[in-house]
Structure 1
Amino acid sequence: MKQPSKFVRFLLPIIIVSLFIAVFVFLLETKPTTAKKDVEEKIWFVESQKIKIQPHQPIVKLIGQVISRENIEISSTIDADVVKRWVSVGDRVNKNQILLNLDQTKFKLMVSQHQAELNEIKALIKEEKQQYVTNKRLLEKERSLLTISNNAVVRAKTLEKSEMASSSQLDDAKRASLNQQIAIAQRQAAIDTNPIRLQQLEAKFQTVASKLALAKDDLSHTKILSPINGIVTQISLDQAEHVRQGSSLVSLYNHKQLELIALIPEKYLANIAAGMQQHKSLQGWVTLNKKKHAVTLRRRSGVIQAKSAGSYLYFSFDKENSNILLGQTLVVHLALPALNNTIAIPTDAIYGTTSIFVIENQRLKRVPIEWLGETLGANGQLYYLIRSSALASGDIILTSKFANAMDGLKVTIRND
């Protein structure tokens, strides 16, 4: 059988492929087509609010820490051993209540020693005063004896001239007179130096009295008393431990003098200063265990903190609360003086911090705003406080939060 030529074998596959392509193109060209439909624009259901421009009171949210105006650390003024510990951390104590007892032994001995020295000096002073009176009285007698001695000398001289007395008798009379003069001089010197001796004794008395007072003071410091009504926060030493002078013993604070300290940015300080000048104090609140507790701004620091560009505010709690503890961190909401031409909006109405959407003719329109913080609504809820020259009372704003919000988006109001 005759085989096909090489040319035919080469051309046949090409013809077959070309035939398939032509059929495919024909089928595409003859494919039935469907008429295109117009796409209907989607309408989004949203919530809205009609705004009102009026004065609102801004609420500033701050982070505060509970401190005490009376926060005391008691240190030891003596070296001694702890004999008894009467309280524990967390205990409430009253003023002058015993907290610790330190060993009194050596301090009692020092008090006894100095008391004995003082008693001795008192006796010496009393003796010196009595001796002064005695010397004054004896001086008169010594002078009388001198007169007698002098008269004896005169008689002895007369008798010697009349050869009725010997010269030795005259010498004895003169010697007695001289001895009496010496006795008078010594007595007078004792009287004259009496004030000096008294001054010396009184100086010693004061020195020992001071030592006694210090010893008694040290003895009193062996009984560690609470200087305030408060709560014990730390006890540094336990029973039988040795205490050195200056060592910390007990720390406690007055739970009725609690304050809240919070740092506020510098931009709010002028408004706060104006508010305090008008109202003397500003009000706020903290939330603890889902309950609000009123606080009052009492004073502010006169210093700007360089690292934080702010200043510290000090709040007092309007009512005592046993659940508020020293060192606790609380969020403070401070109500500032009202700002005019402001708008309160729900928190979901703001996009970022610089814009909201107004609804005009069922279309969204982005409007730039100035965010001023928060404010408290009539229902007790927090709202964002804004200001914008592009808004007017009666404008309707978007209050729904959804990702598709953009200029020109068609919406319909759900709450109409």
Structure 2
Amino acid sequence: MNTFQNLRQKHSWFLPVIILAVAALIIFALVVSKPKPPKKETKEKEWLVSSIILKETQAQPQVELLARVESPFDSTLSAAITADVMQVPVREGISVKMGDLLVQLDAREIELTLAQRQADINELDALIDAEKLRFKTDQDSLVEEKRLLEIAEQALARQAKLKASNLVAQERYDSAESSRAQQALSVNARKLNIADHPNRLKQLQAKKVRALTLLKDAEIDAERAQIRAPFDGIVTSVKVAPGERIQMGQALVSLYDRKNMELRAQVPDKYLALISDALQQGINIQATALSHQSEIPLQLLRLSGQASLSNGGVDALFRPASEEHNLILNKALRLRIDMPALTNVFTLPVSAIYGTNRIYRIEEGRLQSLNIEVLGKQLLSLSTNSANEETLQDRVIIRSKHLGDGDKVTTTQLPNAISGLKVKERS
């Protein structure tokens, strides 16, 4: 009995093990015999893009710059005399015509000087007339004095004969000789006066020229008492008022010539050589200024003769194609320059460019990356944005030996664009 109980206790753990093993077999059989769900095919995602068909063409690069309006005839008129201000009939901002009165100065002091200069000339005219009369008188007197000299010489000869015969006293002879000598001196003095006449006349004429110069200077000062517009223009500032005492050189009025307006814009270095070559070849470069929602046609005049000290750039100067414009001095405007046309190129929207020089061509529904050469931009037309503001739609001018007519290029910016990416074109 005890032996049976010992044996039972020794092999009591077999039963649980057997039960667990059977359960594991059953579970394994259920898992293996479980029906498998049908596999779903994984479909590659297609990205929806817009595209453009390329066509080789001729395109004109355009550059948009910031320009400032200026005038080479931006003048500040100053006083040429010291005087009191009598009238100032103009105000800032008004348009004036050439010759219009801007400032009237008191001319009374100048008129007194003018009268004095005229009196000096009248006096010299009288002296010149007197010298000419004196010359004529000297010529007439010389004839008579020569005759008197002959008479004195004849009298001396008679006295000499009488003296030789001891028929006359020595005193009579000396008196006759003295009379002849005095008459000879008179003739010589008259000849000297006649010979010196041209010198005296030249001296008087030189004084008259000097007096005429002073008179002309006084007349100019009298004219300067009226400050008039030197050209058709617009007054930018008036610096004096009636009653002020102004000094020579003091600024009075500033104005600029509306018919000689220019726009100055700094040209990027990459376009500088192209513009310089075009000017040397006589190619007419056009531009457009955008002012007050209107476009003003411009023409390139020249390049600046020096580089800017601040940034080293070179300025280009443009003038309006017509005198009918609304340009205002010192106003900043957007400027669009039409560069010389390029051939055998393609144009794309800006959205087609990835980075600075990469596009994606669509081949058999997949993207292919291509590096291209960007030659410039083309600013085609004005469009209105959501804020009702007009903006320029840009197109990029490109060139690549790997592109040809009929190629399709995506114009959609994809964040994960890569060669081989599958895409679908929008209809």
Q: TM-score range by the shorter chain?
A: 0.7 to 0.9
Of the structure 1 ranges 248-257 and 375-384, higher mean CA displacement relative to structure 2 is found in 375-384
Residue in 2 aligned with 1:411?
423
CA-CA distance at 1:201 after TM superposition:
1.8
Residue in 1 aligned with 2:51?
48
The answer to whether 1:387 aligns with 2:399 is yes
Looking at structure 1, the residues matched to 80 and 152 of structure 2 have their Cα atoms a distance apart, in angstroms, of 68
- Maintained 8 Å contact 1:264/1:311: yes
Residue in 2 aligned with 1:20?
none
Query: After superposition, where does 1:5-404 map in structure 2 within 5 Å?
Result: 42-155=45-158, 169-276=172-279, 280-301=283-304, 303=306, 305=308, 308-377=311-380, 382-401=394-413, 403=415
Looking at structure 2, the residues matched to 291 and 403 of structure 1 have their Cα atoms a distance apart, in angstroms, of 38
- Maintained 8 Å contact 1:265/1:309: no
- Maintained 8 Å contact 2:89/2:102: yes
Q: Secondary structure at the match of 1:326?
A: coil
CA-CA distance at 1:162 after TM superposition:
8.0
Q: 1:177 to 1:405 in 2, by over 3 A?
A: same
Looking at structure 2, the residues matched to 56 and 208 of structure 1 have their Cα atoms a distance apart, in angstroms, of 71
Identity score, percent: 35
Q: 1:322 to 1:376 in 2, by over 3 A?
A: closer
- Maintained 8 Å contact 2:357/2:373: yes
CA-CA distance at 1:393 after TM superposition:
2.9
- Maintained 8 Å contact 2:53/2:408: yes
Looking at structure 2, the residues matched to 300 and 57 of structure 1 have their Cα atoms a distance apart, in angstroms, of 20
Looking at structure 1, the residues matched to 272 and 362 of structure 2 have their Cα atoms a distance apart, in angstroms, of 36
Looking at structure 2, the residues matched to 324 and 232 of structure 1 have their Cα atoms a distance apart, in angstroms, of 14
Q: Per-residue CA shift, 1:60-103, capped at 9, x if unaligned? A: 22222222243333233222222211222222222222211222
Give TM-score scaled by structure 1 length: 0.80
Give TM-score scaled by structure 2 length: 0.78
CA-CA distance at 1:130 after TM superposition:
0.4
Specify the code of the residue in structure 2 equivalent to 1:400.
Answer: T
Looking at structure 2, the residues matched to 408 and 213 of structure 1 have their Cα atoms a distance apart, in angstroms, of 90
Q: Per-residue CA shift, 1:150-200, capped at 9, x if unaligned? A: 444455566678888666555544444343333323322322322232222
Looking at structure 1, the residues matched to 171 and 340 of structure 2 have their Cα atoms a distance apart, in angstroms, of 118
CA-CA distance at 1:344 after TM superposition:
1.0
- Maintained 8 Å contact 1:231/1:253: yes
- Maintained 8 Å contact 1:51/1:393: yes
- Maintained 8 Å contact 1:98/1:225: yes
Looking at structure 2, the residues matched to 368 and 306 of structure 1 have their Cα atoms a distance apart, in angstroms, of 37
Looking at structure 2, the residues matched to 388 and 89 of structure 1 have their Cα atoms a distance apart, in angstroms, of 57
CA-CA distance at 1:139 after TM superposition:
1.4
- Maintained 8 Å contact 2:376/2:396: yes
Looking at structure 2, the residues matched to 349 and 393 of structure 1 have their Cα atoms a distance apart, in angstroms, of 17
Looking at structure 1, the residues matched to 283 and 343 of structure 2 have their Cα atoms a distance apart, in angstroms, of 21
5+ residue gaps, structure 1, are 1-34
Q: 1:121 to 1:278 in 2, by over 3 A?
A: closer
CA-CA distance at 1:284 after TM superposition:
2.4
- Maintained 8 Å contact 1:284/1:297: yes
- Maintained 8 Å contact 1:66/1:325: yes
CA-CA distance at 1:124 after TM superposition:
1.0
Specify the code of the residue in structure 1 equivalent to 2:273.
Answer: A
Q: Secondary structure at the match of 1:95?
A: coil
5+ residue gaps, structure 2, are 1-36, 383-391
CA-CA distance at 1:126 after TM superposition:
0.9
CA RMSD of aligned residues (A): 3.2
Looking at structure 2, the residues matched to 402 and 323 of structure 1 have their Cα atoms a distance apart, in angstroms, of 44
Q: 1:335 to 1:154 in 2, by over 3 A?
A: closer
Looking at structure 1, the residues matched to 268 and 329 of structure 2 have their Cα atoms a distance apart, in angstroms, of 24
